[in-house]
């Protein structure tokens, strides 16, 4: 089979969409740090729409911060890859629509050549540096949001200005070069699932810049923009079976297609230092303030996703569609949204929250995605603060019941034991895995008591001011006992019957 690239793309089957513009005429306007599947199925697709409409300034240089695998897959393909949008037809049969994306022009692997990354950030044509580096990539304390100057990558980067390895270090040294060359200010655009992601990024960049050069800090503060944005599209990890299926449909080998659901949302604050693509052509919207959208999305989508993932993974329900297909889990997730999350949401004029909830349940039921619960379960220490704890804090402050919210948290604590109800062990994939599993073993594994639950809640970088919270402890106690003794299915049944409330 031939490989997908500039010379073979013209011969793909007619049903496959592909770039109709002149790729050679593309300029590089965007440098993206963390070129994983999500970005390629989301922002790159919206950028492709803007380019296809004739604005050729927005080609993308994609940077991998750690591994060479994306570059190794896509460089022989001239940066081309397929986006497979998957859902089911009216009879429930999985189907997909294929589009070859041409927006990614060049791929860099930061550890191989950090200087090339700094040069790309400093280049005159670059207007936007965007990021999907995941929650942990901000090297901040999830509970306070502050940059951790004692984070090993930050310590390293302060000592190695020519070879930074964190996104924050790369940005600041790239901006330093740009400032020295007088190439004008940049927009730094976070696409990570963090509340006020632009402000978190801004604070981290300014803090780091302060450490190396206060003039640079002042320039960044006065000239560069950090719009917040809310991103939403479910993008499961590509498997070998996906590679084979997409390649067969293309009659051409694509080493790294990406998959996504049809749903797409992106709410961006329209504060850009220079120009920007018209991403509305790809389904984005520009909003004066992204924070209410972020709150809606983090609490409703990511909060329920994580709850579902820990419960599902422990019960042996491997994918989101299989998990939401369990009537007791579906009842719980729907009631969690309606009864416990929705009353905490900000006012969003024009939002039909019941329709949003129904649509979200339908997205989870998509049988064509096979989104693995263990994939969502990773990095819980980084995700839970914005996904679950904000809602919990709001409800605790108002004295409202928290049983369903607490069940997600209890399921995460339960998940730390590293073996599911079928006896399968799995790895805890989390930057705090060692400390958290040790804590689990010292506390919960010895029996669920007020003291052992409080020992877990004392893990400061996750729980912050919730340490020792009596109402939260009381809510967690019967749920954890039930999960340990009776398992996920029985616990869900009990919670749905209104039992196990503190
Ligand atoms: C998921 C998200 O893996 C996860 O943690 O909750 O990636 C989720 O699929 C997206 O944020 C949906 O927009």
- Mean pLDDT in the chain? 97
Residue 303, pLDDT score: 98
Residue 91, pLDDT score: 93
Q: Say if ligand 1 is within 6 A of residue 234 CB.
A: yes
Residues 6+ apart with CB under 8 A from 159: none
Dihedral angle computed from the Cα positions of residues 13, 14, 18 and 23, in that order, rounded to the nearest 10 degrees: 90
Nearest CA to ligand 1 atom 9: 234
Task: Report pTM.
Answer: 0.97
pLDDT tens digits along 401-439: 999 999 999 999 999 999 999 999 999 999 999 999 999
Q: Say if ligand 1 is within 6 A of residue 386 CB.
A: no
Q: Which two tokens stand for residue 283?
A: 């389904």
The full set of domains in the chain, from first to last, is 9-285 (3.40.50.720), 291-496 (1.10.1040.10)
Q: Say if ligand 1 is within 6 A of residue 301 CB.
A: yes
For a substitution probing ligand 1, which of 300, 376, 415, 430 has the most ligand atoms within 8 Å of its CB? Answer: 376
Ligand 1 centre distance from Cα of residue 342 (Å): 19
Q: Is residue 341 within 8 Å of 299, Cβ to Cβ?
A: yes
Ligand 1 centre distance from Cα of residue 14 (Å): 32
Residue 142, pLDDT score: 78
Q: Is residue 443 within 8 Å of 414, Cβ to Cβ?
A: no
Residue 145, pLDDT score: 84
C-alpha to C-alpha distance for 187 and 210, rounded to whole angstroms = 19
Q: Say if ligand 1 is within 6 A of residue 296 CB.
A: no
State the residue for tokens 């998959």.
259
CA 481 to chain centre: 31
Percent of the chain surpassing pLDDT 90: 97
pLDDT tens digits along 125-158: 999 999 999 999 999 987 788 999 999 999 999 9
């Amino acid at each position: 089979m031939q490989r997908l690239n500039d010379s073979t793309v013209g011969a793909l089957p007619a049903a496959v969409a592909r770039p109709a513009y002149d790729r050679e005429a593309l300029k590089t306007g965007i440098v993206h740090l963390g070129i994983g599947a999500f970005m390629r199925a989301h922002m790159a697709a919206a950028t492709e729409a803007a380019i296809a409409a004739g604005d050729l300034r927005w080609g993308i240089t994609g940077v991998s911060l750690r591994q060479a695998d994306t570059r190794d897959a896509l460089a022989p393909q001239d940066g081309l890859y397929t986006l497979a949008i998957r859902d089911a037809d009216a009879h429930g049969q999985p189907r997909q629509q294929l589009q070859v994306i041409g927006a990614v022009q060049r791929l860099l692997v930061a550890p191989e050549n950090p200087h090339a990354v700094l040069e790309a950030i400093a280049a005159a044509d670059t207007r936007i540096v965007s990021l999907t580096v995941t929650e942990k990539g901000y090297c901040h304390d999830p509970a306070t949001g502050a940059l951790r100057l004692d984070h090993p990558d930050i310590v390293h980067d302060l000592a190695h200005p020519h070879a930074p390895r964190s996104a924050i270090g790369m940005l600041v040294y790239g901006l330093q070069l740009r400032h020295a060359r007088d190439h004008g200010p940049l927009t730094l655009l976070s696409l990570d699932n963090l509340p006020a992601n632009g402000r978190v990024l801004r604070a981290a960049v300014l803090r780091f810049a302060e450490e190396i050069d206060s003039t640079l800090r002042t320039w960044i503060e006065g000239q560069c923009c950090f719009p917040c944005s809310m991103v939403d599209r479910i993008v499961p990890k590509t498997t070998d079976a996906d590679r084979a299926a997409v390649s067969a449909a293309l009659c051409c080998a694509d080493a790294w297609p990406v998959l996504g659901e049809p749903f797409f949302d992106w709410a961006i604050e329209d504060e850009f230092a220079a120009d920007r693509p018209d991403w509305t052509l790809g389904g984005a919207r520009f909003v004066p303030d992204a924070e209410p959208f972020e709150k809606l999305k983090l609490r409703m989508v990511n909060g329920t996703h994580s709850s579902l993932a820990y419960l599902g993974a422990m019960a042996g329900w491997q994918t989101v569609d299989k998990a939401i297909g369990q009537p007791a889990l579906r009842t719980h997730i729907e009631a969690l949204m309606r009864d416990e999350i929705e009353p905490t949401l900000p006012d969003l004029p024009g939002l039909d929250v019941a329709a949003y909830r129904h649509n979200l349940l339908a997205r989870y039921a998509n049988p064509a995605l096979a989104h693995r619960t263990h994939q969502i379960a990773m990095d819980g220490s980084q995700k839970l603060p914005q996904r679950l704890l904000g809602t919990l804090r709001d409800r605790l402050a108002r004295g409202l019941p928290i049983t369903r919210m607490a069940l997600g948290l209890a399921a995460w604590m339960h998940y730390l034991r590293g073996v599911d109800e079928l006896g399968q062990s799995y790895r805890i994939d989390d930057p705090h895995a060692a400390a958290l599993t040790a804590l689990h073993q010292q506390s919960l594994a010895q029996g669920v008591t007020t003291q052992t639950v409080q020992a877990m809640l004392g893990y400061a970088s996750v729980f912050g001011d919730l340490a020792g919270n009596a109402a939260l402890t009381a809510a967690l106690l019967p749920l954890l006992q039930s999960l340990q003794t009776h398992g996920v299915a029985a616990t869900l049944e009990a919670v749905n019957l209104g039992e196990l409330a503190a």
